[in-house]
Structure 1
Amino acid sequence: MGGKYRITGNRYPRMRKPRRRGRLVFLAVASVAVLGVIGWGTWQLIDVFTGGGTASAAGGGDCPAKASPAASPSATSAARPLPEPGQITVNVLNATPRGGLAKQTADELKKRGFRIGQVGNATKEFDKKIKGAGLLLGPASSLNTSLPVLGTQLAGAERRTDTRKGTDVDLIIGTGFTALTQQAAATEALTALTAPQPSATAPKKGC
């Protein structure tokens, strides 16, 4: 064009629209924020449904680990009450060369509430062959019932089971026998044996 409208110089005006960089930056920041919120929410859901198991397994946190009831040996005793001395029939047999021990021991056990069955000398299988204080012998069912109760009356006595029928148990006096456990100590041991076991410590609130 000529005249006053003529274009001079070597640069030409740009005809395209300027880039909107501000809008792109805003969209990028918004996308990052949305992804962060989604990730945080997912983690919270996982923590709720798992009960925070990761921290517990690693030993962290303030919540104590719960004890397994199956691991406690006292749980069996609590689930199966032990018999009273009056429910146990004891055969007192002397396996030593000393005379009169079977009757003396049987009389003392009777005073302590046990029922007395046979009193006499031990059979050839055990005569002079029990080296310790004594041997407590009974059926398999007595191993965790009658024998522990009778064992409170003669500390250090060995416990065995056999294939007999019935519920009677034997106290076979050994060559190391001197006397039954003192009654006060035997009563204390029996009380501890039959006492209810304390329950596991309750977890803290929120655990």
Structure 2
Amino acid sequence: MGGKYRITGNKYPRMRRPRRRGRLVGLTVASVVVLGVGGWGTLQLIDVFTGGGRKASAAGDGTDCGVTTKASPSPSAKPLPLPLPEPRTITVNVLNATTRGGLAKKTADELKKRGFKIGDVGNATKQYDKKVKGTGLLLGPAAALDTALPVLGTQLPGAERRTEAARKGAAVDLVIGDGFKELAKRQDADRALTKLATPEPAPTTKKGC
């Protein structure tokens, strides 16, 4: 080969291909994405271990996940009911509204054994005579609705309860109806009376995740 330059030896210079800018740009973008995702994950881990979850909980319901809490009473909460009277303080008039004789006296005697004070015993007034179809009817003044009537009701489950606004005195009536067979068994009545005097506490609320 002629000319000013000559190639000697058995090695030849290699020609480099032109660099591709597109590949370089793609690698740069991918690196930025990877770094961004890694950084976000790191921030999440830091947030978890430094109490970020507690902040979210505080902003929500004010309790940690899985903690059992009791609602605090509000100023407008319903006042507690009045204490229930004992049977010995309740005067009961036992009246028979059926065609069967002797029920009033027999029932009055049993109530007396259970501690109740007995008032009048006899037939029901014309207003209720032969007009009570259920087991019985418990009557009393308005003040007896949440006091004496529930206590008397433990002796005759299923009896209807009514109040009379114009009624005077604290005595209550047990009017025997057509469906009456007998008073509740004494042990069942005592159990119901105990449950009535000591109601179960309201269930607590457990907050979940």
Bin of the TM-score, shorter chain as denominator length? 0.5 to 0.7
Max Rg structure: 2
TM-score, structure 1 normalization:
0.64
User: What residue is the counterpart of 2:196 in the other structure?
Assistant: 193
Taking a change above 3 Å as real, the CA distance of residues 122 and 72 of structure 1, as seen in their structure-2 partners, is farther
User: What residue is the counterpart of 2:159 in the other structure?
Assistant: 157
Aligned amino acid, residue 80 of structure 2: T
Shift of 1:76: 3.1
Unaligned 5+ segments in structure 2 are 1-50
Task: Say which structure, 1 or 2, has more relative contact order (CA 8 Å, 6+ apart).
Answer: 2
Shift of 1:62: 3.1
Among candidates 160, 175, 180, match of residue 177 of structure 1? 180
CA separation in 1, counterparts of 2:173 and 2:77? 29
Shift of 1:199: 6.7
Residue by residue over 1:151-193, the C-alpha shift from the partner in whole angstroms, topping out at 9 and shown as x without a partner, is 0000110000002011100000000000000101001100111
How many residue pairs are counted as aligned between the two chains?
153
User: What residue is the counterpart of 2:113 in the other structure?
Assistant: 111
Unaligned 5+ segments in structure 1 are 1-43
Shift of 1:61: 2.7
Shift of 1:203: 9.0
Taking a change above 3 Å as real, the CA distance of residues 199 and 137 of structure 1, as seen in their structure-2 partners, is same
Aligned amino acid, residue 119 of structure 1: V
Among candidates 66, 73, 86, match of residue 70 of structure 2? 66
CA separation in 2, counterparts of 1:140 and 1:65? 38
CA contact (8 A) 2:140 2:172 kept: yes
TM-score, structure 2 normalization:
0.64
CA contact (8 A) 1:56 1:63 kept: no
User: What residue is the counterpart of 2:60 in the other structure?
Assistant: 55
CA separation in 2, counterparts of 1:199 and 1:157? 27
CA contact (8 A) 1:85 1:114 kept: yes
User: Is it true that 1:98 corresponds to 2:114 in the alignment?
Assistant: no
Residue by residue over 1:98-123, the C-alpha shift from the partner in whole angstroms, topping out at 9 and shown as x without a partner, is 01100000000000000000000000
Taking a change above 3 Å as real, the CA distance of residues 90 and 202 of structure 1, as seen in their structure-2 partners, is same
Query: Which structure carries more helix by proportion?
Result: 1
CA separation in 2, counterparts of 1:154 and 1:101? 14
> What is the aligned-residue identity percentage?
59
Taking a change above 3 Å as real, the CA distance of residues 63 and 179 of structure 1, as seen in their structure-2 partners, is same
Taking a change above 3 Å as real, the CA distance of residues 137 and 69 of structure 1, as seen in their structure-2 partners, is farther
